Amino acid sequence: MVEKSIELTGISANSIEEAVRLAVARAAVTIDSLRRAEVVDVSATIEEGEIVSWRVRTRITFAVQDRLHE
């Protein structure tokens, strides 16, 4: 088996977990065989001294499928 990884940044005003879920859900729209999501970095956007959103950089790993060419 061969796996490939991509990095996506999920952004949520509600939580870190939701930001990760958004990144995984977006990847799942176009990629089959998702295997793993690894949180690489977490940061917050601050306005007027308050956290207004979470930015979570997520490495998403999926299996590369073998396809025969005809």
Tens digits of residue pLDDT in 17-49 = 999 999 999 999 999 899 999 999 999 999 999
Q: What percent of the chain has pLDDT over 90?
A: 86
Distance in angstroms (rounded) separating the CA atoms of residues 31 and 5: 11
15 is a domain residue? yes
Number of domain units in the chain = 1
70 is a domain residue? no
7 is a domain residue? yes
| In the block, residue with structure tokens 């990760």 | 20
Q: What is the largest CA-CA distance in the chain?
A: 60
Domain of 8? 2-64
69 is a domain residue? no
Beta bridge partners of 38: 59
